[in-house]
Amino acid sequence: MKLINFVALFAAVALAAPAADPAPAGELDSSPEAHTLERRGCVILIMTDSEPSPTLGKRKREDDSCQSLGIAPPSAYTFDSLIRITVGSSPNTRDFHIYKGLLTHYSTYFKAALNGNFKESKEGVILLCTDDPEVFQIVCYWLFTGQLWDSRKVKKEGEVPLSWRLLCSIFVFGDARGIPALRNAAIDGLMDKISDEWKLFTGQVKFIYQNTPKKSLLRKLAVDMVVKTYPVDQLKESECNLEYMMELAIALESAGKRRLLSQEEWRKMNNCDYHDHDSVAPPKS
């Protein structure tokens, strides 16, 4: 069946069916691949002397001059007063203690909440009831180290120990909390995971489309990875939704006769195509 006909059939079925409840942001895979960072009572203890990751950025790319990777680092004055952030809903909540300046340096959401006349700013407490503590633990590690995982714990060079769902959830968190540099880090993780495992995250399409806005760069990657590398007839209907299939059909029509990329060719793909450059400040000279 041609893709356009499949989309038409899919649309008819979808429009006739009742709308499904959105998947909660931060819902995680229970698969063994899901990576859980070491948990401690106070997140400031997560600071580490680990060297820069040999994993991220190791893949040969067409252009390594991406400015999104050059956001100005926080100054010493960033490590000031501590903010308590309670993440999750009862009974699965966790408290994190993070420097206010570190949060406001990277996040427009936390900058607005902590620098205004809001309750959060006066009390030094923020509640993130709809977020997942495991995702936020990784976000904290990234805030302090610039990495999404401890590169010393990977079994082989180029391995990405985070699950597809975790990487997508990190992107969604960065999107919701105004942290473009975190979104870019999640994109790099996804690109490198595809390169290493030569698999796609089609199983996360519904989660992505339920938790990201139109024109999301994560949606763009979800479409392009199929257009560039995957036989469309092998897609599972259960993994896709109407909006994704429509965007995929348009992209395939625009691509015309296509030649699927090899794994080595994918490794040379330019991550900048999926980075947010407009919202990330370039490094200060």
Residue 192 confidence (pLDDT) above 90? yes
The pLDDT of residue 269 is 93
Q: What strands lie across the sheet with 94-99, from one edge to the other?
A: 94-99, 82-87, 125-128
Q: pLDDT confidence of 73, banded at 50, 70, 90? A: confident
Q: Which amino acid is at 138?
A: I
| pLDDT, tens only, 11-31 | 333 333 333 343 333 333 334
Q: pLDDT confidence of 135, banded at 50, 70, 90? A: very high
With CA atoms as reference, report the closest residue to 111 among 167, 177, 58.
177
Q: Which domains does the chain have, with CATH numbers?
A: 27-48+59-274 (3.30.710.10)
Q: Write the DSSP assignment of 95-159 as a string of letters.
A: EEEEEHHHHHHH-HHHHHHHHSSSHHHHHTEEEETTS-HHHHHHHHHHHHHS-SS-GGG-SSTT-
